[in-house]
Structure 1
Amino acid sequence: MGQEKGELVWHYTNGDALMSILAKGELWASSAAFMNDMNELLSGSIQLRKHFEDRRQTLSPATIEALEEHIPDVRARSRRSFVLSASSDGDNLTMWRYYGRDQVSFAIGLDRSERLVPVARLDGDNHPSPSPDYYKGMYELDDDGQISTHPDGSPAVIFDPDSLIVDGGEWARVVYDPERQTKIIVDIFERLRKGVEGNSATHEDGHMRLWFPYLIKESLDLIKNTGFRDEREERIIVWPNPDWKFVFHRPGPFGLVPYVKLTALGADNRDMYEDRYATKPGRLPIREIRIGPTPYSGEAVASLKQLLDFHGLHDVKVDYSEIPFRE
């Protein structure tokens, strides 16, 4: 999907989070395994499994066995997917009600054409304190259980857990339409089927097994129940590796929630490719901030403009909701 420059997506939040976002230049993408909605990021997996069961009789035993590795029956969300949500609607009553329970809420208008990248929490290329089994499965083994080698004598690596891989970071619209959802499911299933039946990706391939969310991109996680269509949600989904380099934790209602800090490129970073991650936050592509329904819109606009001035964000437009406020 093309990202039209200047088109905004709206990240709804409360006042405390807004002040932190402006001060630090970071947005938090939380682990999909800790979402408040019990069915969040599960709808696509459930539909994919159902399609697999419907097709089972047409598949060979070897293909079925391989697909079982990638289409699990357990309805669990991936801990490797990190999600940042927004809306295409900047004055959405459903969102105002959700975020404005105890105080005035805000919608941050972000330029959807600008990709966001993770902020690294640690430098270095190797896990600073790996567990005893951290590198288990890294190397290809021969029939005697010894590490296979290439002709030059170097070990045959299946997948190095310290490999730097960052995928995602672009905004995509959530899919509510059942017909479009079916098309996505069929496409993903056929790609997986062809992959496991081909010589380049068998069910023994540890890389494919580890990076199932990465291989199917964000399409599966964009499927959502049509009952939520009023939210008009847009998402960024990122899959960073290694965990130790990018994943932070914060307390939450379900335990310590893993999350990734996202920022814009342009600040200091030591990535040799210069476009996958940052080591310090840059300036987020905030173009506008809209204040939620309040009887004191004039005062609220003035105080927000003052805060933006304090942070040097003089070009950010300030507006307020057109939805009538009622006591």
Structure 2
Amino acid sequence: MRKNETALVWHYTDGAALINILAKNELWAGSAAFMNDTNELLSGSIQLRQHFEDQRAVLSKDVIEGLEEYIPEVKERSRHSYVLSASSDGDSLTMWRYYGRDQVSFALGLDRNVPLVPLARLKEDVHPNPPAGYLDDMYDRDEDGQIVTYPDGSPIVIFDPDSIIIEGGNWKPVIYDPEEQAEIIVEIYNKLREGVEKRNSTAESSRPSFWLYPYLINESLDLIKNEGFRDEREERIIVWLNPDWKFVFHRPGAFGLVPYVKLTGLGGVNDDVYEERFAMGPGRLPIREIRIGPTPYSSQAADSLKQLLNFHGLHDVRVSYSEIPFRQ
């Protein structure tokens, strides 16, 4: 094993994307709802639904109705999840084959202990172009639809749609082992059931605390993958954030305009030096090494890569080669 490899995760990419990453100090986490693999990020949700169906006979009607809200029958990936993938294997033949069809590919060795944060799209603190009804669910309302107030007359806010909430940003290994997956499914199901039961038995004012449940459980669900892909040794950063208008970009893709989030390092331009949840300007990515994929021209590829790194002042980034023999 190469020195310090255990501290790195490897993001495989092609030359064009590598140039963009080094120039802009950003990695793109794509919307889970637009992933190419039809089964990607669905395995956990499918297993959770099946466990729910197995338990349905022992549940009360109101608990079933509550769980239906959080464990839908329709297999749909969360549009609120943004995913960046890498591998714990820095010299994977599977990954080289996927990214090196027509040209030399590269693997960026990223320090797994350095968090990545979303890069803000806008500086505003409130939606610059709110749609109709944007604030309708912001306040607590009584049975007549009137806004409930505190004794001093100020409205009771349930959820401010412009409040900044960012979850995730750390590398987590994908879970391939079926037994470990089953344990996660049971744990998630039990937490959801307990949450629904508590919500059904308490006052309306306590319900906002349950709002984050779907986001907090999705990370574990989104880490479950069929064991047939075990050789990828995938690791993921999964990010959920609010408000989307502040952080979500779009690019053209096969399925339409694909939403994505730009992830960067802290240390760039920021209006608030104490803000560590996101960045207003790109900071240096924690790239420690770049490995060149199998090629008969490894010397030339290394020379041009080192030149590019020098142009960007990345003099401390190590350049290495795949040890897999090249086959024409």
Q: TM-score range by the shorter chain?
A: over 0.9
Q: CA deviation at 1:6?
A: 7.1
**TM-score for the superposition, normalised by structure 2:** 0.94
Partner of 2:281 in structure 1?
A: 280
| Structure 1 residues 270 and 201: alpha-carbon distance in aligned structure 2, compared to 1, 3 A threshold | farther
Contact 2:192 2:213 in 1 (8 A): no
Contact 1:117 1:262 in 2 (8 A): yes
Q: CA deviation at 1:201?
A: 9.0
Contact 2:81 2:238 in 1 (8 A): yes
Q: Matched residues in 1 for 2:200 and 2:311: separation?
A: 55
Secondary structure of 1:219's partner?
helix
* Residue identity opposite 1:257 in structure 2: V
**TM-score for the superposition, normalised by structure 1:** 0.95
| Structure 1 residues 79 and 202: alpha-carbon distance in aligned structure 2, compared to 1, 3 A threshold | farther
Q: Are 1:161 and 2:161 counterparts?
A: yes
Aligned Cα root-mean-square deviation (Å):
2.0
Q: Matched residues in 1 for 2:202 and 2:107: separation?
A: 46
Which is worse superposed, 199-208 or 227-236? 199-208
Q: CA deviation at 1:136?
A: 2.2
Give deviations 1:135-183, integer Å, cap 9, x for gaps: 2222111121111111221111221111100110000000000000000
Q: Matched residues in 2 for 1:201 and 1:292: separation?
A: 58
Partner of 1:118 in structure 2?
A: 118
Which is worse superposed, 90-99 or 132-141? 132-141
Structure 2: gaps spanning 5 or more residues = none
Q: Matched residues in 2 for 1:307 and 1:203: separation?
A: 60
Partner of 1:60 in structure 2?
A: 60
Secondary structure of 2:241's partner?
strand
Q: Are 1:14 and 2:17 counterparts?
A: no
Partner of 1:174 in structure 2?
A: 174
Between the aligned residues of both structures, percent identity stands at 70
Partner of 2:38 in structure 1?
A: 38
Contact 2:31 2:81 in 1 (8 A): yes
Contact 1:49 1:71 in 2 (8 A): yes
Partner of 1:291 in structure 2?
A: 292
Partner of 2:313 in structure 1?
A: 312
Structure 1: gaps spanning 5 or more residues = none
* Residue identity opposite 2:320 in structure 1: D
| Structure 1 residues 9 and 221: alpha-carbon distance in aligned structure 2, compared to 1, 3 A threshold | same
| Structure 1 residues 206 and 197: alpha-carbon distance in aligned structure 2, compared to 1, 3 A threshold | closer
Q: Matched residues in 2 for 1:146 and 1:289: separation?
A: 59
Q: Matched residues in 2 for 1:201 and 1:191: separation?
A: 15
Partner of 2:241 in structure 1?
A: 240
| Structure 1 residues 105 and 146: alpha-carbon distance in aligned structure 2, compared to 1, 3 A threshold | same
Partner of 2:223 in structure 1?
A: 222
Q: Matched residues in 2 for 1:65 and 1:141: separation?
A: 22
| Structure 1 residues 144 and 203: alpha-carbon distance in aligned structure 2, compared to 1, 3 A threshold | closer
Q: CA deviation at 1:187?
A: 0.6
